[in-house]
Amino acid sequence: MSYFDPTENVYNNLKEEEKVKKPVRYKAKNRLAAIIEQESKQKDAMKTMGPPKVELPSPDKFLKKHSKQFKPPAEPEHFHKPPAPLRTDKPQIGIQSKKVFSQKTDLVPVTPKPSFIETKKQLLENSGLIPKYIRKKGLKKKWDEVYHEYQLLPFVIDTVTKKKERIFLEEKMTQLEKDISVLEKFKTIYISSS
């Protein structure tokens, strides 16, 4: 039978590993001086304040007011206007201008056209608020008929025939408006039979 010993341990049966002794590390005689020299080199490499020696500006080149501001480059000479002639200078004869001066000048004061503002400024004449073409009733009735036909057209024009009809009615209305304006502009109109 086996005998049990409580003091017995598995680890006691393992062979003891022999510890390898390392050789003695070499120590230099000037070890401290080498460390100090090496640290000073590292410190110099970490400096980031620019070059160690900078030329100092001479006292003649002191900073002046607005000297650092941007100055645009000087304009070339061909951009400058020629100097104005003196009173004693005689004008050159024989130079012709390319400008066309009209003989007739209209100095009529411009009166503002009547307008109304709903969302944006619009002329009152084109708004339909002022009755237009009320004196010449022969053409105005025709224009009203054409305008009525124009309003009967559908809002969406999707076929070629509808598009042609709309263009035809618009041209007819503009022609009638031109004729009415010509008749209203002049009191008497002379028609020659030639």
Calpha distance 173→165 (Å, rounded): 12
- SS3 of 100, please? coil
Phi, psi of 13 (to 5 degrees): -80, -20
Predicted confidence (pLDDT) per residue in 122-157, tens digit: 777 766 666 665 555 677 888 888 888 888 888 888
pLDDT attached to residue 17? 64
Nearest to 113, CA basis, from 130, 91, 137 = 130
Per-residue pLDDT at 33: 87
pLDDT digits (tens, 9 = 90+) for 18-60: 677 888 888 888 888 888 888 877 766 666 666 667 778 788 8
Characterise 87 by phi-psi region: left (phi > 0), alpha (psi -120 to 50), beta (else): alpha
* The most confident of 92-96, 138-142, 170-174, by mean pLDDT: 170-174
- How does the average pLDDT of the chain come out, rounded? 76
